[in-house]
Amino acid sequence: MGVLNVTPDSFSDGGRWASTDAAVRHALDLQTEGADLIDVGGESTRPGAGRVSPQVEQDRVLPVLTELHRLGIRTSIDTLNAGTAELAAAAGVDIINDVSGGLADPGMADVVARTGLPYIAMHWRAHAGSMDSLATYDDVVATVVAELADRVAVLEAAGVKRSQLILDPGLGFSKDAEQNWRVFARLDAFDPLGLPVMVGVSRKRFLAGVLPDNAAIVDRDLPTAILSVLAAQAGAWAVRVHDVAGTRTALNVLARVDSARIGS
């Protein structure tokens, strides 16, 4: 999954794809580099980010989604807003990606149920302005699994089919660096939920810990590609990345080694 943030203020690529034309061109580049899916977002979830109105978000993403659909490119809409998800569905989006797992907007479950689209439910505790202060857990792995299991139950009770659901541990959201590494190291803990799992580590703050102090944000692309391989080995359904070219190459290496093992 290639990231396309159509925002002036996103965490690592903010402002670069703010016009519809530039955004569509970047999506085509990501597809050429090997993305199977383009995740289109119009509201930054960067730590400390403020909210934008659904209208502003929709003005940013809907023209891009419409054009990508016309070009036959598979998309997801990265939104917390049920209204945006519903309009995105009408514009031809393939997947709804909600970093709050339905907690931010009480209308989201109903939209997901009515559209029947696949729905990525991420582990989330609060909006960007306050999420860092909620990174308290006795056992972060067990708690994240349990809180996602709660979301699954609530969503199913609201009419969402189990077959629509994809889970995401929400790395970087209400988790400190150590907690992010712990959850990543135990992706197998989500297996008992019996649902596909996607993972988003791309360029996130906790990756700074494996890099020199003066490293730039793009230097996080190498650890991102390595973690993408480890996530794939752990059975992840998808990885969400900014640097599609690097991660695609890393995944191709893994696929090549896997096929050589099967062939031997």
Residue closer to ligand PMM by CB (options 205, 264) is 205
210-229 exposure pattern, b = at least 16 Cβ within 10 A, e = fewer: eeeeeeeeebbbbbbbbbbb
175 is catalytic: no
Structure tokens belonging to residue 183: 């959850």
Look up 261 and say whether it is catalytic: no
Closest by CA to 17, choosing from 28, 31, 27, 6, is 6
In the complex, which residues of this chain contact ligand PMM (CB under 6 A)? 3, 5, 10-12, 44-46, 78, 97, 99, 120, 122, 168, 171, 198, 200, 203, 240
Q: Which residues contact 179 (CB under 8 A, 6 or more apart)?
A: 135, 137, 140
Q: Which of 204, 205, 256, 261 is catalytic?
A: 204
Task: Report, in Å, the least distance between residue 66 CB and ligand PMM.
Answer: 21
Residue nearest to ligand PMM (CB): 200
Looking at this protein, which amino acid is placed at residue 200? G
Residue of 114, 115, 191 whose CA lies nearest to 148 = 191
Burial (CB count within 10 angstroms: exposed 0-12, middle 13-18, buried 19+), residue 192: exposed
Q: Is 143 helix (H, G, I), strand (E, B) or coil?
A: helix
Q: Which residue lies nearer to ligand PMM by CB, 4 or 251?
A: 4
Using alpha carbons, select from 89, 167, 191, 175 the residue that is nearest to residue 135. Answer: 175
| Minimum separation from the CB atom of position 99 to ligand PMM (A) | 5
To ligand PMM, the closest distance from the beta carbon of 217 in angstroms equals 9
Which is nearer to ligand PMM, 39 or 86 (by Cβ)?
39
Contact 164, 118 (CB under 8 A): yes
CB of 227 to ligand PMM, least distance (A): 12
Choose between 5 and 84: whose C-beta lies nearer to ligand PMM: 5
Q: Closest separation between CB of residue 177 and ligand PMM, Å?
A: 15
CB closer to ligand PMM, 11 vs 206: 11
In the complex with ligand PMM, the residue whose CB is nearer, 10 or 66, is 10
Residues with Cβ < 8 Å from 204, sequence gap 6 or more? 171, 172, 180, 220
Whether residue 155 contacts residue 183, with contact meaning beta carbons closer than 8 Å, is answered with: no
Catalytic residue among 125, 175, 203, 240: 240
Nearest approach in angstroms of CB 41 to ligand PMM is 6
Task: Supply the residues annotated as catalytic.
Answer: 204, 240
